[in-house]
Amino acid sequence: MALDIVIMAAGKGTRMKSARPKVLHRLAGRSLLQHVLQTASTLGADRIIVITGHGAEEVEASAGTSGAVFVRQMPQLGTGHAVQQAAPMLHDQGTTLILNGDVPLVAPATARHLIDDCAGERLALLTIELPDATGYGRVIRDAEGDEVLGIVEHKDATPEQRAIREVYTGMMAAPNAALKRWLSQLTNDNVQGEYYLTDVVAMAEAEGVHVVATRAANETEVLGVNSPAQLADLERRYQRGLADALMEQGVRIADPARFDVRGELACAPDVDIDVNCVFEGRVEIGEGAHIGPHCYIRNAVIAPHAVIHPFTHMDGEALGVKIGRGALVGPFARLRPGADLGEEVHIGNFVEVKNSTLGKGAKANHLAYLGDATVGERVNYGAGSITANYDGANKHRTVIGPEVHVGSNCVLVAPLTLGEGATIGAGSTINKDAPPGQLTVARARQMSITGWKRPVKQKK
């Protein structure tokens, strides 16, 4: 049996007070629409159809390689009018699942339950009871409360109907053939002058098609986003759910209210995460590692028992960042793409590492830059030293052998090799290979000038 999924994403989102289309506002690092597309991709659909309207080109471009096809609703004349635009693309037989692009956290299991309750022959509505149902369509049942008779939109509901707490979430599953027929019969005879998708419920009842209500697992998965405040509320709900899941696995999170994952975070037991840390992309943290407060970590693998001190900025982009077992990083360190730190490496305050590997026990503890470098084991890299890796057109590599000591305030002009056990005198600018085991110094000779006097300011 064919499965079509229709995602409604045409709305402007006036209450967001933003030039950005509503479905492109971000939750946990991804757009609202991307969350819904991810859920849809798990359901084995034969076709995913996204209905666009406001900012259609931007919305369609954001879908990337999702495999979705698009139809446009121009102008926007209601939810029923939106699905009418998708009707020609639906299979003649099968099930259509209708999701909302601004309701990002519906669980795949709930969506699957809705599809199963439809089974290609019933109209299945996703409902939930809310303490405050303002703005939602109310579910109207028969006197016994068993049969669903219809949905009344909030704006059209009587005071008695507005007292009903069971609401329609905007998501349904319907038999394709019947849905196409019902869509063709919709009218806009209501307060708003719009074509309501919910009118198909009464049509189903009139035809004797059984209407069933599928209950959502929780309120969070059916909450929509219509304002910045609602987006912020949903963000915290989502983050709290991730934090709870991690803590159940043995991760210690200092304050779940100050914890943000904007991608995927995988943690082994006994990981400690302090407050105000942000994780983006794909981050893996090994057993017993400690993440200090106010760290930003993106696309990184952190080995067991590493310590990331406060205010560390780690962004691996496409190349990633790797932190070895027992390494110490920060505070105020910056690790860029391709930074690969071995076991027990120390990267201290205001040290930047980019596209460089550091062997076991190497140390750069203060105010230094390592770019495009290969650093051997137990190297000591002095404060204020840099690799000059860019000649204005091309990048060049610096190779620093094991046991090398680089003094403070040195400039290593790549391409360059420092032999094993070499010592580079403080303040040197090195542009030729340094032999192993020797002291290499390249700086002006110190002079003291007898009789020299400091200039004094002339009186006017």
pLDDT given at position 134: 84
pLDDT given at position 445: 87
Do 78 and 140 reside in the same domain of the chain? yes
459 domain residue, yes or no = no
pLDDT given at position 72: 95
Do 185 and 234 reside in the same domain of the chain? no
- Is 290 in the active site? no
- Dihedral angle computed from the Cα positions of residues 202, 204, 205 and 210, in that order, rounded to the nearest 10 degrees: -140
Do 202 and 250 reside in the same domain of the chain? no
CATH number of the domain at 425, please: 2.160.10.10
pLDDT given at position 109: 96
- Considering 305, 313, 366, 405, which one is annotated as catalytic? 366
Q: b/e for 315-335, b at 16 or more Cβ within 10 A?
A: bbeeebbbbbbbbbbbbebbb
309 domain residue, yes or no = yes
454 domain residue, yes or no = no
Range of the domain at 58: 3-222
Q: For the whole prediction, is pTM greater than 0.85?
A: yes
pLDDT given at position 115: 97
458 domain residue, yes or no = no
Do 53 and 124 reside in the same domain of the chain? yes
pLDDT given at position 79: 93
CA 447 to chain centroid, in Å, comes to 58
351 domain residue, yes or no = yes
446 domain residue, yes or no = no
Give the residues of the chain that fall short of pLDDT 50.
none
pLDDT given at position 459: 82
pLDDT given at position 298: 98
Amino acid present at 432:
K
Query: What is d(CA 48, CA 35) in angstroms, rounded to the nearest whole number?
Result: 14
pLDDT given at position 148: 86
Split into its structural domains, the chain has a count of 2
Instruction: Return the DSSP state at 395.
Output: B
